[in-house]
């Protein structure tokens, strides 16, 4: 049972980190879009990008905002093309801790689903497609429920 406690606690902590980083990315983008209303700034927010941001900036909103603001300011050309076609920093500058975070979530979820003979919310936290935020919320609910039931 001790192993299940550790898995549940780690899974919950990891999903909360992704959720917080994703929310901070969303908030920062909204603030920047308001600050530069004449620019068409669009960045598709994805779970791997949130993991990368969490790893690089420890999820801190101000650091995320400053990173995005500098990236937008330094980008030459149409701002709507910044990180277009899914070529975001986690792909051009991979971070082992971000990849490890995503893998821990997938491994923990798969382990719990198999051990408890239940259905996982998705095969992977990266499987949300266009529904990234809903995917994160579903994983968060799953991790919280497992934590509620299993952790002593």
CA 43 to CA 45: how far, in whole Å? 6
Return the pLDDT at 43: 75
Helix H segments across 59-95? 61-74, 89-92
Are 109 and 120 in contact, with CB atoms under 8 Å apart? Answer: yes
Q: Is the pLDDT of residue 61 over 60?
A: yes
CA 24 to CA 117: how far, in whole Å? 34
Higher pLDDT, 12 or 85: 12
Per residue in 67-81, pLDDT (tens digit) is 988 888 877 666 556
**What Cα–Cα distance (Å) separates residue 37 from each residue in 40, 45, 64, 84, 98?**
7, 19, 19, 19, 32
pTM score of the predicted model: 0.88
Cα-atom radius of gyration of the chain, to the nearest Å?
A: 17
Return the pLDDT at 132: 86
Give the domain ranges of the chain.
2-150
Q: Is the pLDDT of residue 84 over 60?
A: no
């Amino acid at each position: 049972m001790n192993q299940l406690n550790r898995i549940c606690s780690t899974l919950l902590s990891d999903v909360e980190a992704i959720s917080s980083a994703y929310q901070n990315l969303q908030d920062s983008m909204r603030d920047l879009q308001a600050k530069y209303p004449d620019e068409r700034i669009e960045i598709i927010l994805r779970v791997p990008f949130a993991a990368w941001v969490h790893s690089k900036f420890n999820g801190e909103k101000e650091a995320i905002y400053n990173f995005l603001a500098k990236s937008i300011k330094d980008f030459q050309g149409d701002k709507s093309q910044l990180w277009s076609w899914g070529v975001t920093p986690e792909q051009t500058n991979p971070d082992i801790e971000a990849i490890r975070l995503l893998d821990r979530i997938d491994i923990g979820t798969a382990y719990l689903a198999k051990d408890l003979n239940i259905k996982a919310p998705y095969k992977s936290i990266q499987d949300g497609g266009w529904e990234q935020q809903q995917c994160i919320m579903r994983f968060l609910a799953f991790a919280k429920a497992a934590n509620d039931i299993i952790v002593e």
